[in-house]
Chains A and B, each alone.
Chain A
Amino acid sequence: MKDRGYYEGFGGAYLPEILIATFDELVETFQAAKNDPGFWREYVDIMSTYSCRPTPLTFAENLTRKFGGARIYIKREDLNHTGAHKANNVMGQGLLVKRMGKTRVIAETGAGQHGVAAATMAARFGFKCTIYMGEVDVQRQRPNVFWMERLGAEVITVREGTRILKDAINESFRDWVTNMDTTHYVLGTACGPHPFPEMVSFFQSIIGKEAREQILEIEGRLPSRIYACVGGGSNALGIFQSFLDDPVELVGVEAAGKGLETGQHASRLSSKDASVGVAQGYKTYFLQDHDGQMKETHSVAAGLDYVGVSPILANFSEKGRIRFESATDKDVVDALSLTIRKEGLIPALESAHAFAQAFKEASAMSKEDIVLINQSGRGDKDIFTVADAFADPKWQEFIKNKAEEYHA
């Protein structure tokens, strides 16, 4: 094992022996690419011609006026191709797959955004593609399943365990230990064994690089606070990394689900319910019981509904460099509703967690303060969940009619 990737006690590479050689190859390929200035240029080029980089920074004038405090800016990762920051990571890993000469990719997905992004990348680069998705998530994110299949990916419904994101990750590993000669596992977030946390953060760092330049150009100064939602942590690390050495407060927002006190949440760093453990190949804070068995998590946002969290974020949490908060499902639906009405923007339910926390704090800040919110993805995919949350009668009517059309 060439390298283990620790962040002051978090991270590592707890791998079955069969994968050690595969990880050695991946580490080597990634390090060579990282040290090759031409690689980053190739990456930025593909992101600006195939996706929509640089994504804009939008001044949210109406929200700023409503809260009467800090000036609110929104980093528009929703404008990436496939509608989320996930594109940054998959295109980067896709370039590495080409370098390794592999022909097939597999990926887990929760909300389906990473699955769609991975399937898109596979279509573009000509790779075979299999996506693992928990049964619960297949139910709540059906439109993304439809698109993954149209893109030529095989979508496998995972019926093991809690039938959500972590179970999809386990099944991806089981595929990988069998097919590693031809296959790369495109892990979607800054979790898992080394080098994934570092590699995914590296590709996502493009968000913060742009955002820093953009805010300096528009306002001539740095923001006071930056908000990002945290599932595995890739969009948060993406925007935070460029501000680590600045006097900027970084706020990660986890899913409080039905409320921290109910136990039905996915708050690893902002609740007292998680403890340090080792699973899915890395050491971090997990929502687990006394014996080390993983617990069920809950969030209205499938992409945040995960038991672990990036080891890099766990380290920043311990050091106090990043503040972690949480927003309930209800806070999130309210924040989403307000953002749609006030700004004409539709954040994903995941991203709406960052908005919810910023809204709690913006009024108390001065008009001189600037805050950035990372809108990691767009909310179109959440139409079924959001329509349920609003109990929209016209939508329900439409679905009933549609079902009749199919003779259901």
Chain B
Amino acid sequence: MLKSYLKQRLKEKEILLMTHIVLGYPTFEDAFRIIEAMVNAGVDLMELQIPFSEPIADGPVILHANQKALAEGATVQKCMDFARKAVKSFDIPFLFMSYYNIIFKYGVDRFAGAMHNRGIVGAIVPDLPPEEGEDYLSAMEKYHLSPIFIFSPTTPEERMTYLNSFGKGFIYCVARKGVTGVATDFSRQLKEYLSRCRRATDLPLALGFGVKEREDVDFLKGKADIAVIGSETIRLVDTAGVGAVGEFINSLR
């Protein structure tokens, strides 16, 4: 379902935009206004991160957003309530992003059921390789949700094929080594990596980590299907406030 939505959308646009926010950061009210600005600026889909105390794949910007959201009292239940409201209010697909412990403690089947009830279409769980994800994969299947798997520049082709056999919706390609929110070199090497990814799957490719301006998005046209903007909007909210989000997204494409 997610895949066909994306393919349809790609007939109209050269490249799609996916953005990422941390739920409860800076507050739930502001998070809602950020989504509104992003949707109005034409964002095609969004990741809603449920904050976790130990986000090991995230760099300083998203790490601090996680910590701040938790310190301000964000809970999984509040995130679930928020997700229901977001899906009802805006006509784009939403995904959850979080670390496996959040799902595990909620109950894997119950979590997938809660996603389904709220109309969340898929999830990105960066510390859950398919080898550890048997329960998760069957729960996602049961509720017709898309488990998004990740390719990285260190992933051999054989493993890309393996990951592709579990992935639905799209593949999230990590642009480089390292954590989120650090500069990426948009180079020939990245182009070659993306063509390796393309050969391994017929799912749309999202490219994330270090995408922060129009030039980066332009570079990705024809090489990836979705440009992922993560840390940069959080950085923008920190420095220029919620009001600056719409203009920034408009400037990307």
Contact = CB atoms under 8 A, between A and B. Distances in A.
Interface string A285-314: 010101111100000000000000000000
Contacts of B94: none
Interface stretch (B28-36, B51-59, B115-123): B51-59
B63 A292 contact: no
Nearest to B56: A173
Interface in B43-89: 52-54, 56-57, 59, 63, 67, 70, 75-76
B105 A277 contact: yes
Given A16-B126, A161-B53, A292 B102 contact: yes
Interface string A1-41: 10010000000111111111110000000000000000000
Contacts of A19: 154
B100 A177 contact: no
Contacts of B57: 16, 18, 177
A18 B99 CA distance: 15
A53 interface: no
B101 A278 contact: yes
B54 A280 contact: yes
A173 B99 CA distance: 15
B126 to A, nearest CB: 5
A1 B105 contact: no
A170 interface: yes
Nearest to B159: A20
B104 A18 contact: no
Interface in B101-134: 101-102, 104-106, 126-129, 131-132
Contacts of B151: 17
A210 B36 CA distance: 66
Interface in A160-200: 160-161, 166, 170, 173-174, 177-181
Contacts of A166: 54
Interface in B152-197: 152-156, 159, 163, 174, 177-179, 182
Given A174-B178, A278-B104, 13 more contacts: A1-B129, A14-B127, A14-B128, A15-B129, A18-B174, A21-B154, A178-B182, A180-B154, A180-B177, A279-B54, A279-B99, A288-B101, A291-B75
Contact of A288 (B59, B105, B182): B105
A22 B174 CA distance: 16
8 contacts: A13-B132, A17-B150, A17-B151, A17-B163, A18-B154, A178-B179, A280-B54, A288-B105
Contacts of A20: 129, 154-155, 159
B177 A177 contact: yes
A56 interface: no
A54 interface: no
Contacts of B153: 18
A143 interface: no
B100 A1 contact: no
Interface residues of A, number: 37
A281 interface: yes
B127 A281 contact: yes
Which 8 A-B pairs have CB atoms at the shortest separation, nearest pair first?
A292-B105, A178-B178, A292-B101, A18-B152, A293-B53, A17-B150, A21-B154, A294-B53
A20 B153 CA distance: 11
Contact of B156 (A21, A170, A173, A277): A21
Interface in B186-217: none
Majority DSSP secondary structure for residues of A touching B: mixed
From B132, B152, B156, B178, name the one whose CB has the most chain A CB atoms within 10 angstroms: B132
Contacts of B59: 174
Interface size, B (range):
35 or more
From A16, A161, A277, name the one whose CB has the most chain B CB atoms within 10 angstroms: A16
Nearest to A294: B53
B129 A17 contact: yes
A102 to B, nearest CB: 15
Contacts of A1: 129, 131
A291 B105 contact: yes
A174 B132 contact: no
Interface string A262-282: 000000000000010111110
Given A17-B174, A161-B67, A177-B178, A170 B56 contact: yes
Interface in B131-159: 131-132, 149-156, 159
Nearest to B155: A17
Contacts of B126: 16-17
Given A160-B67, A177-B57, A177-B177, A292 B52 contact: yes
A177 B63 CA distance: 15
B56 A280 contact: yes
B39 to A, nearest CB: 28
Contacts of B54: 161, 166, 170, 279-280, 294
Nearest to B149: A17
Nearest to B104: A278
A290 B152 contact: no
From B59, B67, B101, B102, name the one whose CB has the most chain A CB atoms within 10 angstroms: B101
Nearest to A180: B177
B104 A292 contact: yes
A148 B156 CA distance: 37
B154 A277 contact: no
B146 to A, nearest CB: 17
A114 to B, nearest CB: 19
Nearest to A1: B131
B128 A291 contact: no
B155 A291 contact: no
Nearest to A171: B56
Contacts of B70: 293
Contacts of A161: 53-54, 67
A16 B154 contact: no
Contacts of A14: 100, 127-129, 132
